[in-house]
Amino acid sequence: MEFRVENARVELVQGDITRQDTDAIVNAANPGLMGGGGVDGAIHRAGGPEILEECRRLGGCPPGEARITTGGRLAARYVIHAVGPVYYNGTSGEPEKLASAYRCSLTLADTHGLRSVSFPSISTGNYGYPVEQAAPIALRTVIDYLRRHPGLELVRFVLYDTPTYAVYEAALHTLAAEPARPQAER
């Protein structure tokens, strides 16, 4: 599925984020940036030791922020390591930290002159964020960012399984039908 925002495309695809050829892929990282399970482990395994070496030098990353490293052996030139929140009850700042992780990733892509970036569904795996709540936050954050920053041409959400893809697709249909919000509301 594809949706246009200003001069950029937002795409939803089902697949393996480690196989994306965008300028950068986003890693759903842990605060230590040392690899782990799920998307994080897959990216570190596919990208090779260069990624882990750079992550060690970065000294970690707090939830809601992101850091950038080489892509190692990946098709993507860079990996943006975004640390989303662990989900507790949704009232402990999780929505704000999740949105911030996406915004910081997009800002890093812009700062490095990148034109395309692929995201997983941050925090919805081991961190327990309900995908039905996370998808609208992720998509709205990306759409709002693209409306204000014209540098990126493609933002792709690479969703691992059919149920996650279906939730993102429904959320994107809902957001696409909404009128653009005034700048002060973004």
Identify whether the C-beta of residue 118 lies closer than 8 Å to the C-beta of residue 20.
Answer: yes
Q: What is the pLDDT of residue 179?
A: 66
Sheet holding 66-70, edge to edge: 2-5, 8-14, 154-159, 116-119, 24-29, 78-83, 66-70
Distance, in Å, from the CA atom of 85 to the CA atom of 101, rounded to the nearest integer, reads 9
Domains and CATH numbers, the chain: 2-185 (3.40.220.10)
Residues 119-146: tens digit of each pLDDT = 999 999 989 999 999 999 999 999 999 9
Whole-number Å distance between alpha carbons of 110 and 136: 22
What pLDDT is recorded for position 38?
84
pLDDT category of residue 186 using cuts at 50, 70 and 90: very low
Q: Rounded to an integer, what distance in angstroms lies between the CA atom of residue 164 and that of residue 131?
A: 7
Burial class (CB in 10 A: 0-12, 13-18, 19+), 154: middle
What does pLDDT average to over the chain?
92
| Average pLDDT value for residue range 70-89 | 96
What's the gap between Cα 83 and its chain centre? 9
The C-alpha atoms of residue 123 and residue 121 are separated, in whole angstroms, by 7
Q: Which of 1-10, 124-133, 157-166 has the lowest mean pLDDT?
A: 1-10
pLDDT for 36 equals: 81
The residues near 31 (Cβ < 8 Å, ≥ 6 apart) are 60, 61, 62, 63, 83
**DSSP collapsed to 3 states, 99-143:** HHHHHHHHHHHHHCCCCEEEECCCCCCCCCCCHHHHHHHHHHHHH
Catalogue the active-site residues. 40
Q: What pLDDT, on a 0 to 100 scale, did the predictor assign at position 184?
A: 44
d(CA 144, CA 139): 9
Output the pLDDT for position 39.
87
